[in-house]
Amino acid sequence: MNVQVKGDCIRLGQFLKIAGIVGTGGEAKIRVQSGEIKVNGVTDTRRGRQMKDGDLVEAEGKEYRVQYV
């Protein structure tokens, strides 16, 4: 699923909220640090990771693609 993001820079924690994967920043922090989130096929524990256009986020068995508009 493509998730459209306005602007040209978003961090992983913010992206998780916009995509509806988590409800709060606190939940994003816990889920990222516990290793539940993969970016481009690799587990990433950095909530502040800057996402690039086309990055693929995997969570709960679903895939979400970053698409800047």
Q: What is the CATH number of the domain that holds 7?
A: 3.10.290.10
Could you list the beta-strand ranges (E) of 1-69.
2-5, 10-11, 38-39, 42-43, 50-51, 56-59, 62-68
Q: Which pLDDT score is estimated for 40? A: 98
What pLDDT, in 10s, does the model give residues 7-43? 889 999 999 999 999 999 999 999 999 999 999 999 9
Q: Are 39 and 47 in contact (CB under 8 A)?
A: no
Categorize the per-residue pLDDT at 45 as very low, low, confident or very high, splitting at 50, 70 and 90.
Answer: very high
Residues of the domain holding 37: 2-68
Q: Which pLDDT score is estimated for 8? A: 85
Could you give the number of structural domains in the chain?
A: 1
